[in-house]
Structure 1
Amino acid sequence: MPSTEAELRALDRQIADLMQQKAAVQARLEREAGGARAKQMSAEVVDSNPYSRLMALKRMGIVDNYEKIRDFSVLIVGLGGIGSVAAEMLTRCGIGKLIMYDYDTVEIANMNRLFFRPEQAGMTKTAAAKQTLHSINPDVIFEEYTMDITTTANFEQLLDRMQHGGVDGKSKIDLVLSCVDNYAARTALNQACNELNQEWLESGVSEDAVSGHIQFLLPGRTACFECLPPLIVASGIDESTLKREGVCAASLPTTMGLVAAMLVQNVLKYLLGFGQVSYYLGYSAMNDFFPSDVMRPNPECSNVQCRKQQAVPEHAGWTPMVWKALGYGGKENLVVEHEDNEWGIELGGDDEAVGLGVTEAPAAAETSKLASGLSFAYDQPSTAPAAAAEEDNSASVSDADVSLEDLMGQLKSL
C-alpha cells in the first residue's frame, strides 16, 4: 500500500530528528576526544597532508605567513547560498575558528545551492553546516547558534561572542561576515559592528540572481550600512518585470558561488596581509562586469555610533590602502616605502585614493559620483529643504531690522 503524503512528512520529521541526534552525539564525541586538532600546519608535500597546497603559497612568496590563519576567528551570520559556501571555503583554507549564526532549517528547495545535502532536510542550518564542515576539516573550531540576531536578547548574545569569540575563547573575533538576505539583520550587524569598532564584510545577490556584491566596512572610515542607500550593480534588466505574484526570488548557484569566492578571497587578503582588499566589489553576470568603489562615511549618518566612530582621530585621517604588486624580478625590484614593509603596502594619499574610485558620501546620495555601473537602491532623503528653511529664517530676521515707516512706504509704492 503506497504511503500517503502525511506519512511521508512524518518520516521526514523522524529522519530530521535522528540527524539532529547524530550531530549531537558527534559533537559530544569530538569534545571528549579533545586533542585531535593538529598543533600546526605542515608544509610537507605528501598526499596525506591537506595543507600542502595552501602552504605552497608561502614557498612561492605570495603569503609570508599562511600558517597564521589558524590564529583567526571569523563570525558568519547567514548560512544561505553565500554564507554556507563561504564557511566551507574558510574551513578548507584552515581558518582557526568559525562561529555560525542562522535561525532557519534546511529544505529541499535549498538543494539548488552548493552546500547542503538532501538527507539534511529538516535539520537546522547551523547543525547541518557543523556536521559537514567538521567532516571536511576537524582542525577548525566550530560554534553554532540557531537564533534570530534581531531580537534584543539574541543581539546581546551576538555582542558577547564578537567580544570573546577569539580562538583562545577570551579575545575578540577578527572579522564578521554578513551573508543575510534581509534589511533587519543587516542593520543589526551594522549596529553591533559600529558599537564595537568591528571590521566586517557584507555580501548579497540580486533578486534576479545575475548580479551580486561584497563590501568591506570599517567603522568611521568607510560608509556604514546606514550612511547611504545600498549600492546595486546595473544588470540592464527592467526591474519592473522581475516581481510577479506567485514568483519567488531567483537563485543561481553559480552567482552565489562566485560572490562567496570574492568574499572569502578578501577575507584571506585582509587577515593574511597580501594583495588589494576590495572596499566595494560588484559583479554583473550579464556582461562579466566587476565595478569597484570606496564609499566614504556620511557625516550626517542617522546611526549615532557611526558618527562617534567618525570622530575618532585615527579614523578621521584614514585613507584607503593601496597595494603595489611585486616586480618581475620579485622583491628586489619592489620600491618599498618603509623598511619594515616588505609587501610594499602603503596608505594612499589623495592621488592614490582617486585611482581606487573613492566616493565621498554627501548628505544626499549623488549617483553621478559613483563608479561606472553602480547606482543606489533608492533615493536618500535630502537635507536641502531644512537648509532652505534656515535661509528663509535668516532673511526674515534681516527684514525685521527695517523700520515701520520704510515698510509702509514700500506698501504704498505697490
Structure 2
Amino acid sequence: SRLMALKRMGIVKDYEKIRTFTVAVVGVGGVGSVTAEMLTRCGIGKLLLFDYDKVELANMNRLFFQPHQAGLSKVQAAEHTLRNINPDVQFEVHNYNITTVDNFQHFMDRISYGGLEEGKPVDLVLSCVDNFEARMAINTACNELGQTWMESGVSENAVSGHIQLIIPGESACFACAPPLVVAANIDEKTLKREGVCAASLPTTMGVVAGILVQNVLKFLLNFGTVSYYLGYNAMQDFFPTMAMKPNPQCNDKNCRKQQEEYKEKRAVQPKQIVVEQEEEIVHEDNDWGIELVSEVSEEELKAASGPLPDLPQGITVAYTIPNMEENAVAEVTVSESEESLEELMAKMKNM
C-alpha cells in the first residue's frame, strides 16, 4: 500500500508494472547485495544473481549478510534471505565467474533468454562488481546484445562512488573512455599494494546502492529524470552529473556497430516540429467588468515621441527624444551691458 501511494500521489502512472520487469545483478557484494534487497522490497518481478564468491566474516562490516551465512556462496545466501523478504519475486542464481569463456557464453544466454517470460531478454543489467575485468566482460556482452545496463562502483578509499547508465550506441560504453589501467596497458593486479586492503564503509555502499536502485526505478517506470552519470563524494557531499557521448573510435567493434544502428534509427525518425503557441491573455474578460484603459491617446503618444532613427532589422530604440512643442517658451537671451547693478536698479524704479 505504501508503494502504491506513489501512484495515488501522481509520482508514477502505473507502479504495478514493476512486477513485469526482470533485472540481472552481477556481483552480490557490498553494493550488489543491498541493490538486490531494495529491488526485492520494491516488488521487482524477477532477479538474476551472478557471483562466484563466498560469504566471509570479513564481510560483516557491510550490510545484508549475517554471520551464520559464512561459508555459503553469496548467491545462495542472498536468495534465501530475499525469498523470506518477498516470496512473490522470482529468483535465478548462478554461482560462477562470468569472465571465463564457458561461463561468459552462459551469462550472455541468460541475459538474452532469462526474462520473466522464459525466452525473453532481461530488461536491465546492473554491474555491481569490484574489478575492471568483470566490468569489461559485462560491457562486451551488452554491446553485442544491444542490452541497456547500469554500472556502479565505490572507490578503494570508500569515500566516493558513482553510477552510470549505458545504452549501447546512444551513450558511451565502458570501453569508450578507458581508465588508466587500460590506456597505459597496465595489469590491474599489479596495482594492488602489499599489506593494504581496500577500505569498506557500509554508508558509502548504501548510498551508491540507493541511487542506483532509484535510477533503475525511474528508468523502468518512466518517471523523473534518469541520470546518465551520477557521482558521490562523501568528503564534500558532492554529487557531480554528466552525460558522455560514445566514442566513434571505440576499441569495441560491437559498440561502433551499435552507434551506426542508432544513427540510422535517428535518421528515419520524423523530425519534431515545434509549434509556437501564443500566450493567452489572462483576465481580459472578467465577472466584474474591470477594464484597463490607457489615459494617453494614440495621438498624444505619437506627439510625445520624437522621430525614429533608421535602424537595422531586429534593433529598436528604448526611448525617443520628444519634439519641442511649438508653443514652448523660447529661450531668452540677455545681452551684455556695461551698466552697473546700481544704475540698472535705478532705471527699473523710474519705469
For residue 190 of structure 1, report the CA deviation from its aligned partner. 0.3
Please name the residue that 2:345 is paired with.
none
Contact 1:220 1:315 in 2 (8 A): no
Aligned residues: 259
* Bigger Rg, structure 1 or 2: 2
* 1:187 equivalent in alignment to 2:136: yes
- RMSD (Å), alpha carbons: 1.8
Q: Contact (CA 8 Å) 1:309, 1:315: kept in 2 or not? A: no
Give runs of aligned pairs for residues 326-341 of structure 1, distance below 5 A: none
- 1:6-405 equivalent positions in 2, closer than 5 A: 52-230=1-179, 245-314=194-263, 317=266
Change (3 A) 1:128 1:103: same
Determine if contact 1:207/1:250 at 8 Å carries over to the other structure: yes
Deviations 1:298-356 (A, max 9, x none): 000000000000111457749xxxxxxxxxxxxxxxxxx99xxxxxxxxxxxxxxxxxx
8 Å Cα contact 2:161-2:233 kept in structure 1: yes
- The whole-number CA distance in structure 1 between the counterparts of 2:14 and 2:107 is 30
Retained in 2: the 8 A contact 1:214–1:259?
yes
- Rounded to whole Å, the distance in 2 between the matches of 1:247 and 1:296 is 36
Give the gaps of 5 or more residues in structure 1: 1-51, 232-241, 319-336, 339-414
Question: In structure 2, what residue type is equivalent to 1:257?
Answer: G
The amino acid across from 1:149 in the alignment is: I
Partners of 1:165 and 1:294 lie apart in 2 by 30
Percent sequence identity is: 66
TM-score (norm 2): 0.72
Q: CA separation in 2, counterparts of 1:109 and 1:159?
A: 31
Q: Deviations over 1:151-185 (max 9, x none)?
A: 11111111111111111112110000000011111
* Long gaps (5+) in structure 2: 181-190, 268-273, 276-351
Is the contact made by 1:217 and 1:223 (CA closer than 8 Å) also made in structure 2?
yes
- Counterpart residue type for residue 130 of structure 1: E
Distance 1:143 1:187 in 2: 23
SS of the residue corresponding to residue 139 of structure 2 reads: helix
Runs of 4 or more consecutive aligned structure 1 residues displaced over 4 Å after TM superposition: 313-316
Residues 104-137 of structure 1: CA distance to partner in whole angstroms, max 9, x if unpaired? 0000000011110000000000000000000000
SS of residue matched to 2:197: coil
Instruction: Kindly indicate whether the alpha-carbon contact (under 8 Å) linking 2:169 and 2:262 is maintained by their aligned counterparts in 1.
Output: no
Distance 1:255 1:127 in 2: 25
Q: Is the 8 A contact 1:310 1:316 kept in 2?
A: no
Deviation at 1:230, TM superposition (A): 4.3
Report SS of the residue matched to 1:257: helix
